[in-house]
A and B are shown apart, each in its own frame.
Chain A
Amino acid sequence: MTTSVLRDPTAETAALKRQRLNPPADLDDKVVGLMDIGKMRGDEFIDRLEELFNERNIETRRYKKPTNTRTAPAELIQQIVQESDVVVIALSDCGSCTSCSTHDLNDLDHLGIPGISILTEEFKEAFAGQCEKIGFDGASIFTPHPMQNKTTKELHEFADNIIDELLTKITHTN
Chain B
Amino acid sequence: MNGNHVNGELLLFLKQDCETCQLVKPVVGELVNKGVPIQVYVQDDPNYYRDLSPLDDTSLKASFNWNIETTPTLIQTSGNGHSVRIEGWDKSGWQKLFGRKSLGSTLPDFRPGCGSKSREPGVYENLVANYGDSGIEAREITLGKWEDEMETCYERGWTDGLPVTPPTDARIWKMLQGTSRNPNEIIGKVPPNLAPITVEKAAINAVMAGCKPEYFPVVLTVLEAALDPIFTMHGLLCTTCFSSPIIVVNGPIAKSIGMNWGMNALGQGNRANATIGRALQLIIRNVGGGIPGDLDRSTLGGPGKFTFCFAEDETDPTWESLSVSRGFAEGENAVTLFQGDGIQGFIDQRSQTPEQITKSLASSLLAVGNPKLAEFTNALLVLSPEHYEIYKKEGWGRSKITEALHQEMARPGSELIQGANGIGEGIDPLRVDEMVNKFWPEGLLIVRAGGQAGLFSAICAGWTGGRFRHESQPVTKKIMV
A11–B145 touching, CB < 8 Å: no
Can you name the residue of chain B whose Cβ is closest to the Cβ of A129?
B144
Which has the most chain A C-beta neighbours within 10 Å: B144, B286, B289? B144
Name the segment of A49-57, A131-139, A140-148 touching the other chain: A131-139
Q: For the complex, is A13 an interface residue (Cβ under 8 Å from B)?
A: yes
Bitwise interface map of A from 1 to 36 toward B, beta carbon under 8 Å scored 1, else 0: 111111111111100101000000000000000000
Q: Provided the pairs A4-B168, A10-B287 are in contact, do residues A134 and B155 lie with their beta carbons within 8 angstroms?
A: yes
Contact bitstring B126-154, A, C-beta under 8 A = 1, else 0: 00000000001011111111110100110
Whose C-beta in chain B lies nearest to the C-beta of A106? B155
Q: Establish whether residues A4 and B149, one from each chain, have CB atoms under 8 Å apart when the complex forms.
A: yes
Q: Contacts A8-B138, A9-B167, A16-B139 known; A3 to B144 CB distance under 8 Å?
A: yes
Q: Which residue of A lies closest to B153 (CB)?
A: A6
Q: Quick check: B145 and A7 within 8 Å, CB to CB? A: no
> Could you tell me if B138 and A7 are in contact, using CB atoms closer than 8 angstroms?
yes
Q: How many positions in chain A have a CB within 8 Å of any CB in the partner chain?
A: 20
Residues of A within 8 A of B144 (CB): 3, 133
Contact status of A11 and B196, CB under 8 A, knowing A6-B167, A6-B168, A134-B155: yes
Given the interface contacts A5-B168, A7-B204, A9-B282, does A133 sit within 8 Å of B143 by beta carbon?
yes
Q: Among B140, B145, B146, B201, point to the contact of A5 (Cβ < 8 A).
A: B140
Which of the listed residues A3, A6, A18, A133 has the most CB atoms from chain B within 10 Å of its own CB? Answer: A6
Q: Give A1 to B287 CA distance when docked, in angstroms.
A: 30
- Mark out the residues of chain B between 163 and 211 whose CB falls within 8 Å of any chain A CB in the assembled complex: 166-169, 172, 190, 193, 195-197, 201, 204-205, 208
- Which parts of B200-250 form the interface with A (CB within 8 Å)? 201, 204-205, 208
- Distance between Cα atoms of A13 and B156 in the complex (Å): 14
Docked Cα-Cα span, A138 to B287, in Å, equals: 24
Could you tell me the dominant secondary structure of chain A's interface residues?
Answer: loop
Chain B residue at minimal CB-CB distance from A103: B155
B205 → A minimal CB distance (Å): 5
**How many residues on chain B are close to A (CB under 8 Å)?**
37
B138 neighbours in A (Cβ, 8 Å): 7-9, 12
In the assembled complex, the CB of B451 is this many whole angstroms from the nearest CB of chain A, namely 35
Asked if B41 CB lies within 8 Å of chain A CBs, one says: no
- Kindly state the separation between the CA atoms of A7 and B203 in the bound complex, as whole angstroms: 11
Is there an interface contact between B143 and A9, defined as CB atoms closer than 8 Å? no
Q: Are B156 and A5 in contact (CB under 8 A)?
A: no
Chain B residue nearest to A18 (CB atoms) is B157
Residues of B within 8 A of A136 (CB): 155
Partner of B289, one of A1, A6, A11, A135: A11
On whether the beta carbons of A4 and B143 are closer than 8 Å, the reply is yes
Residues of B contacting A16 with CB < 8 Å?
Answer: 139, 141
Contact check, B193 vs A11: say whether CB atoms are below 8 A apart.
Answer: yes
Task: Output the least CB separation between B353 and chain A (Å).
Answer: 53
Bound Cα distance A56, B35 (Å) = 90
Q: Which residues of A contact B167 (CB under 8 A)?
A: 6-7, 9
- Please report the C-alpha to C-alpha distance between residue A134 and residue B155 in the assembled complex, in whole angstroms: 7
Instruction: Check B49 for interface membership: any CB of A closer than 8 A.
Output: no
Contacts of B201 in A (CB 8 A): 9, 11
Across-interface contacts of B288 in A (CB, < 8 A): 11
8 examples of A-B residue contacts, CB within 8 angstroms: A6-B168, A7-B141, A9-B201, A11-B197, A11-B288, A16-B139, A135-B141, A135-B156
Please give me the 9 A-B residue pairs with the lowest Cβ-Cβ distance, nearest first. A11-B195, A8-B139, A7-B138, A9-B286, A9-B204, A133-B144, A6-B141, A4-B143, A10-B286
A6-B143, A9-B158 known, 18 other contacts, Cβ within 8 Å: A1-B146, A3-B145, A4-B149, A5-B140, A5-B141, A5-B142, A7-B167, A7-B204, A8-B138, A8-B139, A10-B158, A10-B286, A11-B288, A13-B193, A13-B195, A13-B289, A135-B141, A135-B152
